[in-house]
Amino acid sequence: AGSGKFFVGGNWKCNGTKDSISKLVSDLNSATLESDVDVVVSPPFVYLDQVKNSLTERIEIAAQNCWTGKGGAFTGEISVEQLKDLGCKWVVLGHSERRHIIGENDEFIGKKAAYALSQNLGVIACIGELLEEREAGKTFDVCFRQMKAFADAVPSWDNLVVAYEPVWAIGTGKVATPEQAQEVHVAVRDWLSKNVSAEVASKTRIIYGGSVNGGNCAELAKKEDIDGFLVGGASLKGAEFVTIINSVT
Ligand code: PEP
């Protein structure tokens, strides 16, 4: 882990029922969490209120998406104002499932990030390459292009956490090696230093996501530029998620 406060997010994706979420919340409420870690969970929209009303205040809530501007005539969308009304502190943007399954592009994601930050909603900004892009030696190009889209849009980096999530590692059980993750984290930090500022590069937390679990988190957490994790599947299991939170070194 680096010098910033360790940050662990649990992305529940489109999973859960009122009952399963109530069990997960109760497991998290009774767990002992390392104090020096920011912990965030991201339930599906329809359960945000349930989770906010039952989960310990120690854990903050993130939405999994938001609209690009103020709410209004945008059927099916959820506004930043509504998320804040429910007590959300964060929103996950640019997740690979939204980029590659739903078809969101860099510019659209950048707009969302800019609006969320302008309203003081923190952003977990996801970037990461496809397997074919890695194999073609384009990992850095893709990550830098996605970073530039955020950089061109956002008013400030104060409330933004970057999540490096190689697409080939998400939900596949194929975790990046600590060295592979560290290599990209260093490159992204270097990109920030050259293209934004040395200060932003040193203070922005860069977390890793992609098949992180209770067994591989400790090795990843040792790396100097890995400032935490974004966890999908393993965040649905309370005890395992707690192991990952407490892997801070
Ligand atoms: C994610 O959804 O952000 C993720 C990293 O998923 P998983 O941990 O299941 O690979």
> 18 lies in a domain?
yes
CA of 210 to the centre of ligand 1 (A): 5
Q: How many C-alpha atoms does 70 have within 13 Å on its Cβ side?
A: 1
For atom 7 of ligand 1, the residue with the nearest CA is 232
Assess whether the C-beta atom of 38 lies below 6 angstroms from ligand 1.
Answer: no
34 secondary structure, DSSP code: -
> 194 lies in a domain?
yes
Q: Alpha-carbon distance 132 to 15, whole Å?
A: 28
List the domain range (segments joined by +) for residue 195: 6-237
- pLDDT tens column, 181-235: 999 999 999 999 999 999 999 999 999 999 999 999 999 999 999 999 999 999 9
> 45 lies in a domain?
yes
Count of domains observed in the chain = 1
> 248 lies in a domain?
no
> 155 lies in a domain?
yes
CA of 35 to the centre of ligand 1 (A): 24
Query: Does the pLDDT value for residue 249 go beyond 80?
Result: no
The H-assigned helical ranges of the chain are 18-29, 48-54, 80-85, 96-97, 106-118, 131-135, 139-153, 178-195, 198-203, 217-221, 238-245
For atom 4 of ligand 1, the residue with the nearest CA is 232
Other CB atoms within a 10 A radius of the CB of residue 138 amount to 15
CA of 219 to the centre of ligand 1 (A): 17
> 243 lies in a domain?
no
> 37 lies in a domain?
yes
> In this predicted structure, what is the pLDDT of residue 31?
98
> 33 lies in a domain?
yes
Query: Does the pLDDT value for residue 1 go beyond 80?
Result: no
**What predicted TM-score, i.e. pTM, was given to this entire model?**
0.98
Which of 12, 127, 231, when mutated, tests ligand 1's pocket best, judged by the most ligand atoms within 8 Å of its CB? 231
Assess whether the C-beta atom of 212 lies below 6 angstroms from ligand 1.
Answer: yes
Nearest atom in ligand 1 to the alpha carbon of residue 13 is 2
Catalytic residue positions, numbered: 95, 165
What CATH number has the domain bearing residue 91?
3.20.20.70
Q: Alpha-carbon distance 227 to 2, whole Å?
A: 5
Q: Enter the ipTM.
A: 0.98
Assess whether the C-beta atom of 230 lies below 6 angstroms from ligand 1.
Answer: yes
- 139-153 and 178-195 are packed helices; what angle lies between their axes, rounded to 10 degrees? 40
